[in-house]
Amino acid sequence: MEFFQYLGANTRSSFTKLGRGSYFLVHLIAGISSVLVRPRLLLKQLHSVGVLSFLIISISGLFVGMVLGLQGFYILSRFGAEETLGVMVAASLVRELGPVVTALLFAGRAGSALTAEIGLMKATEQLSGMEMMAIDPIKRIISPRFLAGVLSMPLLAALFSCIGIIGGQLVGTGLLGVDDGAYWSQMQANLDFQGDIINGVIKSIVFGFVTSWIALFEGYDSIPTAEGVSRATTRTVVNSAFSILGLDFILTALMFGDN
Amino acid sequence: MDNHVPTQDSLVTVHNLTFSRGDKKIFDDISLEFERGKITAIMGPSGTGKTTLLKLIAAQLFPNHGNIMVNGRNIHHLKHDDLYTLRKRMGMLFQSGALLTDMSVFDNVAYPLREHTHLPESMIRTLVLMKLEAVGLRGARDLMPNELSGGMSRRVALARAVALDPMMILYDEPFTGQDPISMGALVHLIKSLNITLGLTSIIVSHDVHETAAIADYIYVLSEGRVIGQGTPKEILDSQSSWVQQFMNGAADGPVHFHYPAKNYMDDLLHFEKPPSSRQRLSNNRAIKRKRYS
């Protein structure tokens, strides 16, 4: 009986939280117009959310591309198709790994930082202080970070994919002897701009939207104590990861289901 | 004691306010008035909800029953834009200072001016330096908030609160953490701000003597009710055992020093398992549900 009570309470609180989160989302989207007239706020956040994620994304992209090059070569060479390594590496990165791994890394690096920052601002009454100065914290603090997250994600995913493709080339053509011309020309011939690249960009925008929303809402909704902020930060990473992977399946089914 | 309320020209009027957090009633049908141009103090033991009252007056919290009129308008019925317009004329000094940690002292004080006015930077600089000079921290303008002591942070916050020359200021424990020199200067400053700018001040404080020295009217709150009110002299001369206990800092009296608990000996002798984390979680959820419902 207690279990059902617990289950009921959990379900109810999850729906309540979803409601609060949606309300928060409406407000932060409404606040975006005021960010556009203050581009400085956005630039500052683009730096901390996007530019500072550059290193982790580049290094991860390089290694993921190199591993794809190795794995791809061993499988493709069994069928004598190692010339198509470039297609395999690029398609995997642009369609799936670029957006997904970038979003997971983004949630871990920038998402957790956003939650902790907003949570601490709440705990130290900075958000209340702004409200009392008649300055809407959603417009000045939340919306610029949200917009920076949504704009950064596709750029970071593109960077991840590009560096991954170079990593694949380093291993494939540099170490394993795949023909350099074949690596690039096969890629050029078989990758579709609309079907592969645009769909990958759409995915990364969706992931950027969801991850930034979760991170900012968890910070804003956190209990303003050390433990509360720490739990909120953990929830950001866990919930973002689930959302990214779940949405990836849905988006992939919608985009590539007919092929 | 009944909540007798003076009927002069009031800037803020609290009518039959009831407010609860979870199952705990913080205010039980209280009524207060804050006169225009005067310093009104709210005093009372810790945990009486003095800060909560300030947040209710500023519409950062919503009452369960009753209403609060600020400048003739029910502040909890105002639309977002109207509320923010009204807040431009209200300053609030938070207990923690609530300075923005990514800005210097100068930028913190300049922030409301930059957001709400179109003044040239040279004029903003002059205004900020004047406000900082008033709180004695002009020389600390380039420091970051993490380089300030608690008392200094509150003084910067005070400079920021008066930056837009508001009609009223809500002070939450302004004297806490101040050394005797700063304390004296601050008491004088609050009084002189009130007179020169014609402000209405509401001060929440534990510091009986400092507050009594500058307040025009005092409310003493305890256990969700007004247990005493009057001019400082009336309060100090009050025969009420509640008021006397608070003003004289006596441990024994109608106000309990101890948080409600069962018998001390029983508690020591009988081991009782603390509530499980699941129980605590469901209690917290119940409280949160109430808060958002």
Nearest to A13 among B87, B88, B285 (CB): B285
- In angstroms, the separation between the Cα of residue A17 and the nearest Cα of chain B is 10
Between chains, do A9 and B282 touch, taking CB under 8 Å as contact? Answer: yes
Statement: residue A172 has pLDDT above 50: yes
Residue B137 lies in a domain: no
Residue B251 lies in a domain: yes
pLDDT value at position B5?
A: 47
Cβ-Cβ contacts under 8 Å between A and B: the total is 62
Residue B48 lies in a domain: yes
Q: Closest chain B residue to A125 measured between Cα atoms?
A: B98
Burial A182-221 (b: 16+ CB within 10 A, else e): bbeebbeeebeeeebbebbbebbbbbbbbbbbbbbbbbbb
Residue B127 lies in a domain: no
B99 — pLDDT class (breaks 50, 70, 90): very high
Between chains, do A124 and B101 touch, taking CB under 8 Å as contact? Answer: yes
CATH code of B69's domain: 3.40.50.300
Nearest to B90 among A16, A124, A132 (CB): A132
Burial A88-119 (b: 16+ CB within 10 A, else e): bbbbbbbbebbbbbbbbbbbbbbbbbbbbbbb
Higher pLDDT, A56 or B254: A56
Give the mean pLDDT of B281-285: 63
Whole-angstrom Cα distance, residue A119 to residue A216?
9
What is the span of the domain harbouring residue B66? Answer: 10-89+166-257
Between chains, do A128 and B116 touch, taking CB under 8 Å as contact? Answer: no
pLDDT tens track for A48-66:
999 999 999 999 999 999 9
Residue B101 lies in a domain: no
- How many domains is chain B partitioned into structurally? 1
DSSP state of B253: S
Nearest to A129 among B85, B94, B116 (CB): B94
Residue B268 lies in a domain: no
Query: pLDDT above 90 covers what percent of chain A?
Result: 80
pLDDT value at position B1?
A: 42
Residue B269 lies in a domain: no
Q: What is the ipTM for the molecules in this complex?
A: 0.80
Q: Closest chain B residue to A7 measured between Cα atoms?
A: B282
Q: Residue A22 has which token pair? A: 């949606």
From chain B, which residues contact A within 8 Å (Cβ)?
A: 55, 58, 60, 84-85, 87-88, 90-92, 94-96, 98-101, 111-112, 115-116, 157, 160, 164, 278, 282, 285, 288-289, 292
Q: Closest chain A residue to B110 measured between Cα atoms?
A: A133
User: Measured between beta carbons, which residues in chain B are less than 8 angstroms from residue A121?
Assistant: 101
Interface test with B, best of A47, A133, A222 (most B CBs within 10 A): A133
Residue B143 lies in a domain: no
Nearest to A131 among B60, B91, B282 (CB): B60
